[in-house]
Amino acid sequence: MLKFLLVCTLAVASRAELTEEEDVLVLKKSNFEEALKAHPDILVEFYAPWCGHCKALGPEFAKAAGTLKAEDSKVRLGKVDATEETELAQEYGVRGYPTIKFFKGGEKESPKEYSAGRQADDIVNWLKKRTGPAVATLAGVTEAESLIADNEVAVIGFFKDANSDDAKVFEKAAEAVDDIPFAMASDDAVYSKFEVTKDSIVLFKKFDEGRNTFDGELTKENLLAFVKSNQLPLVIEFTEQTAPKIFGGEIKSHILMFLPKTSSDFQDKMAEFKKASEGFKGQILFIFIDSDVDDNQRILEFFGLKKEECPAIRLITLEDEMTKYKPEMDSITAESIIKFCTLFTEGKLKPHLMSQDIPEDWDKTPVRVLVGKNFEEVAFDPSKNVFIEFYAPWCGHCKQLTPIWEKLGEKFKDSADTIVAKMDSTANEIEAVKVHSFPTLKFFPAGDERKVIDYNGERTLEGFTKFLESGGKDGGAPAGDDDDLDAEDLDDVDEGQDEDSDGEGYDEHDEL
Number of neighbours of residue 13 by Cβ within 10 angstroms: 9
d(CA 1, CA 9): 12
Beta strand segments in 122-237, E: 135-137, 153-158, 182-185, 200-205, 211-213, 235-237
Judged on CB neighbours under 10 Å (0-12, 13-18, 19+), 427 is: middle
| Candidates 8, 310, 341, 398; catalytic one | 398
DSSP string, 380-401: T-TT-EEEEEEE-TT-HHHHHH
Upstream peptide bond of 359 is cis (omega within 30 degrees of 0): no
51 has catalytic annotation: yes
- In this structure, the strands spanning 200-205 and 76-81 are unpaired
Beta strand segments in 253-334, E: 253-258, 285-289, 312-318, 322-325
DSSP string, 424-490: ETTT---SS----SSSEEEEE-SSSS---EEE-S-SSHHHHHHHHHTTS-TTEEETT--PPP-HHHH
| Candidates 8, 51, 310, 341; catalytic one | 51
d(CA 329, CA 332): 8
| Candidates 8, 310, 341, 395; catalytic one | 395
CA angle 159, 162, 164 (to 5 degrees): 85
| Candidates 8, 54, 310, 341; catalytic one | 54
d(CA 179, CA 121): 9
Upstream peptide bond of 49 is cis (omega within 30 degrees of 0): no
d(CA 31, CA 17): 6
CA-nearest of 421, 392, 423 to 494 is 392
8 has catalytic annotation: no
**CB-CB contact of 184 with 137 (8 Å):** yes
Number of neighbours of residue 72 by Cβ within 10 angstroms: 6
d(CA 499, CA 487): 20
CA-nearest of 472, 491, 350, 362 to 424 is 362
341 has catalytic annotation: no
Which residues carry out catalysis?
51, 54, 395, 398
